[in-house]
Amino acid sequence: MAAAHASLRTLLFVCLLAAAPAAMADSPVKVIFDTDIAGDVDDVGALAALHVLADRGEAEILACGISSNNPWAPACVDSINTWFGRPDIPIGRVGEFVTDKPIDSRYARAVAEEFPHDLPASYRVPTAEQVYRRVLAAQEDGSVTIVTVGFLTNLAALLDTPADDLSPLTGAELVKAKVKQWVVMGGVFPEGHFANGSGEYNLKVTPDATQQVINHWPTPVVFSGFEIGEVVHTGAKLADIDPASPVRRGYELYNKLTNRNSWDQTAVLYAVRGASDYWTLSPPGVCSVPDNSQGCHDWREDPAGTHRYLIEKMPPEQVAAEIESLMITPPAKK
Ligand SMILES: [Ca+2]
């Protein structure tokens, strides 16, 4: 009997061991979503896809930060979060926008005004770096994925924060402790610039923040370059969904419910599901931003490097179908 019990215990133990990795793999990816929502509309599609991934248990949205200098952008994000049944996701605004130019939007004000949300006027919203410090301090070490689909202003501000009552760690120390990886929609790989010599938009608008963050970020980084989302076209199928959706309304105002490139959605999909069958990861290397780069960057392979970029694998039409199926899925918690 004792031997039988022992072997049963051993069997149970082996079963638990075998189950453990599966359970860990199934735990949702904890995501901070940093967006320049306002200018282009792929940010709207990316946030919608992220919510649906959260509805399916694949992701948990810890916070949203806004890097665009548009007064309606935070409330626009809160309206979309509210639509998906997550009205209390912490939202932070850009603290100091380094250009004086506001970011115009075809949809941010309308979505903020037409759809329910409870965010106060944008000047009363905390800065993204404050929100990120609070959220990161509460998480386990090495557990958070930050995905940026806009300017790097908020991450630059986060790295610069001193220790305070939210955390005894500086911003850079906090990121190093808590963040597993940073996924960036930005850059052009491997060239570092377009054929005409200019740099990619997200890295170009606030170049000092770009240089600081890319050159000094203390965790592994994966870039979804311009070329990845450029060929993935989604949005037209939103014409078939509930007209009461702020996601549909955003695309309607932006481009009358036609397809748009899916730069930001590719970064979100990678952040949650990894390369999967969608993409191949480049060999490790170092992306670096020289002085006065205007959004251009260098890339060199280096086995000791902590940066990688996505390389097309699955045909872009198939990636688009996957992303668009997420974007058109209705909220689970209505
Ligand atoms: Ca964007």
pLDDT tens per residue across span 98-126: 556 788 999 999 999 999 999 876 667 89
The alpha carbon of 267 and the centre of ligand 1 are apart by a number of angstroms equal to: 10
| Tens-digit pLDDT profile for residues 171-198 | 999 999 999 999 999 999 999 999 999 9
The alpha carbon of 43 and the centre of ligand 1 are apart by a number of angstroms equal to: 5
The alpha carbon of 232 and the centre of ligand 1 are apart by a number of angstroms equal to: 15
CA distance 96 to 66: 11
Q: Which residue has the higher pLDDT, 95 or 218?
A: 218
Residue with tokens 């979100």: 268
Is the separation of the CB atoms in 138 and 169 below 8 Å? no
Domains in the chain, start-ordered, CATH in brackets?
27-327 (3.90.245.10)
The alpha carbon of 45 and the centre of ligand 1 are apart by a number of angstroms equal to: 10
The alpha carbon of 40 and the centre of ligand 1 are apart by a number of angstroms equal to: 6
Ligand 1 (single-atom ion) residues, CB below 5 Å: 36, 43, 149-150, 264
Beta bridge partners of residue 127, listed in sequence order: 93
Strands 279-281 and 307-312: antiparallel
Which contiguous run of DSSP H or E holds residue 15? Answer: helix 2-26
Q: What is the pLDDT of residue 249?
A: 98
| Tens-digit pLDDT profile for residues 122-145 | 667 899 999 999 999 999 999 999
CA distance 328 to 2: 58
Handedness of CA 230, 97, 181, 78 (dihedral sign): negative
